[in-house]
Structure 1
Amino acid sequence: MSEGRRPDSISSDDLAAILESAVLAPSSHNTQPWRFEVSESGVSLFADRLRALPVNDPDDRELTISCGCALFNLRIAAAHAGFAASCELLPSPEEEDLLARVSFKRFTGSEDHEAELFQAIARRRTYRKRFEPKPVPASVLDALAEAAEAEGAWFQVLESEPDRQQVAELVAEGDASQWSNPSWRRELAAWMHPRRKGDGLTVPGMIAPVAQLVVRTFDMGNGVGAKDRQLADESPVIAALGTSGDGMADWLQAGQALARVLLTSLGQGLQASYLNQPIQVAVLRPKLQHLLGRSGFPQILLRLGYPATDLPAVPRRNLQEVVEAPGNGDSKTQQFKRR
């Protein structure tokens, strides 16, 4: 920042810490498809389409949702640091990769009510294992619905056993469809990395080549579908998160709502993972929409519950890989390189 900055300007240290929280957001295949540009006026969030999944996510819908999650983390981390983050979504139609511009203003009073979610950012995990067989209270589910609504989205729990069974069948059908596609399998295998890579789906280095070969070569849809069907059947909560529309602005909205729901659930001792196959497979999405019995578009299908064990954090890229700051000698650039 320049020497003549405003008193409420954000420091390089604060900004680096805020961005470190932003990049802890969830993303499909842990692709981390975002980049940030820092300027005197704040931060710009861009989609990194070099990290897109053209087979799994041909419209970049989930990529945009992932960036929305990162944007929400940024907002919460800013509040924790004492700043209000003002976000302008899709500010330049001619720049389709520019998803948001964010400016910061220091809080003048007790306005940092969002900061209570901050501690959950580092503890959030995508929990793919079985949950404890423990019901989630209705009051907690109501809080999650309110969290989604606060970001302009909706959160609907599938409560009846017939509805849950139908969802489980859609998940298994989605698995079968995806795994039968050699291009989808190749794309999945390409994102299976040793942990040192800093992104992707972590596989021990010694077996990574074998695992990639197996995934590329064999259609394991039936086995994976059976496992996912069982996970769905046994999950205390299956819920859909959706929006009224289905464009880029709605996807960014869905991402921020998803992040708020996930961080709110952490405060109640819950973790979550995804059963998005009925949304990813285009012919299945209307079936899920019909099952939900409401207008709007399901964007995410979640399973939630109380974790039986703690999981390690997944690998992340270094901050300097995702942040661009002006000037080779700029203090912000040096700050990011040290982190």
Structure 2
Amino acid sequence: MFSIGSPAKVESNLALKNIPSDMENVLYLASFAANSHNAQSWKLRISHSNKTIELHLDEKRLLDVVDPENRELYISLGCYIESLQTSFQAYGYEMITQDIAPNKENHYQVAIISYKKKENSKPNQETIDIIQQRHTDKRKYLSQQIDSKTITNFTKRYKDMSYYQAGSSEYNLLKDKSIEAMTEQTSNIEFLKEQDHWLRFSNKEVEEKKDGISGDMLGLNPILKSLYYLTTNHQNSTSQTFAKQSIDTLKNQVENSSGFFVITGNQTISDWIRVGRETQRFWYDCVKEKIAVQPISSIIEVPSIKEEVQNRLNLNKDIQMIFRVGYVKEYGENISPRRNLEEYISVSD
């Protein structure tokens, strides 16, 4: 039981041909970006001589059922761009991003990134720590309310952001509709099959695949993680018994929060990427304030429920992100597995 419930030991290989070690560290840190299902749906092509990076959506790592327009994945790429920029800055690099309109012909390239090492620069450990601490926290949060000045600062700093405090009618709407949306989703066998593809049910599976959602990421303590791995597998994770457990877990989460932050935006790829960059910056700010964060996506993934919620909240743009937030006793750090760099990064001279 102790062995099963112990943390997975994922060792990511950072080695890349012709890339200096500090740059390898930058690229590894960048992969700690928030991303849907921990699918890590990014692909990079680095020109070592030109000091440029082409960033592409990885067509082999799509979420066709919950994300048929790739909205979540483009938001994830926006998170990656912001994470990459922050990582470059932490290691003394300058970075300039040129946005590209992705299409099939350019292999869904979203940006070309130029980078340059600044002279006599040293790593900024404080920034590195913030990058490594940022994570999704699915545990129960404390009942303490978020500081009002913090809420005001966030809603002023980030475009199209609103906050709904626990106990308000808006909060209850988001809570109830999240559960309703999850209930509808889990009645769909195709949703359950896609979810199963990204779930990991043993430390061995986590250590081999280095992606997806592990028991550690679910916030389970060693005993609960052991029971989870012993009783759940890829054969029964598409059952209605497992679906009911998922709904019960979501209920417990949304009923134990300080509130919800919501970001809205336009339904365009460029705005999805913008939302991703703001999401990553917002999350870093939450790390600094020791505010735990969990994205709640079920409402957004069920169009009819999303439209109803938008109308009832009087929002004039589409909901792009919903964040459950609150304080926790111990903040923790990012324990999500990350792939070897060479699996998604190619380097040319």
- TM above 0.5, yes or no, is yes
Name the counterpart of 2:28: 20
Once residues 136 and 27 of structure 2 are traced to their aligned partners in structure 1, the CA distance between those partners, rounded to angstroms, is 20
User: Which sits farther off after the overlay, 114-123 or 38-47?
Assistant: 114-123
**Once the 2 structures are TM-superposed, how far is the Cα of residue 99 of structure 1 from its aligned partner?**
0.9
Once residues 298 and 12 of structure 1 are traced to their aligned partners in structure 2, the CA distance between those partners, rounded to angstroms, is 41
Provide Cα deviations, 1:200-248, integer angstroms capped at 9, x if missing partner: 11157994894222221326545533432342232112111122x1111
8 Å CA contact 1:47, 1:97 repeated in 2: yes
**Once the 2 structures are TM-superposed, how far is the Cα of residue 90 of structure 1 from its aligned partner?**
1.8
Note the residue ranges of structure 2 that are not aligned, 5 or more in a row: 1-17, 216-224
Structure 1 segment 191-270 matched on structure 2, within 5 A = 191-193=198-200, 194-196=205-207, 197-203=209-215, 207=229, 210-218=232-240, 220-243=242-265, 245-270=266-291
Once residues 126 and 155 of structure 2 are traced to their aligned partners in structure 1, the CA distance between those partners, rounded to angstroms, is 18
| Mapped pair 1:172 → 2:182 | no
Structure 1 segment 307-326 matched on structure 2, within 5 A = 307-309=328-330, 310=332, 313-326=335-348
Name the counterpart of 2:60: 50
SS in 1 for 2:348: coil
Name the counterpart of 1:73: 83
| Mapped pair 1:95 → 2:106 | yes
SS in 1 for 2:304: coil
Which is bigger in relative contact order (C-alpha 8 A, separation at least 6)? 2
User: Which sits farther off after the overlay, 131-140 or 157-166?
Assistant: 157-166
Name the counterpart of 2:94: 84
Q: Which amino acid in structure 2 is aligned with residue 99 of structure 1? A: V
**Once the 2 structures are TM-superposed, how far is the Cα of residue 53 of structure 1 from its aligned partner?**
1.0
Match among 145, 149, 156 for residue 139 of structure 1: 149
**Once the 2 structures are TM-superposed, how far is the Cα of residue 295 of structure 1 from its aligned partner?**
1.6
Name the counterpart of 1:285: 306
| Mapped pair 1:63 → 2:73 | yes
Name the counterpart of 1:38: 46
**Once the 2 structures are TM-superposed, how far is the Cα of residue 82 of structure 1 from its aligned partner?**
2.3
**Once the 2 structures are TM-superposed, how far is the Cα of residue 169 of structure 1 from its aligned partner?**
1.1
**Once the 2 structures are TM-superposed, how far is the Cα of residue 142 of structure 1 from its aligned partner?**
2.5
Provide the aligned length of Structure 1 versus Structure 2.
311
Identical counterparts, % of pairs: 20
Q: Which amino acid in structure 2 is aligned with residue 190 of structure 1? A: H
Q: Which amino acid in structure 2 is aligned with residue 135 of structure 1? A: Q
Once residues 309 and 161 of structure 2 are traced to their aligned partners in structure 1, the CA distance between those partners, rounded to angstroms, is 14
Cα distance 1:33–1:132, how it changes in 2: closer, same or farther (>3 A)?
same
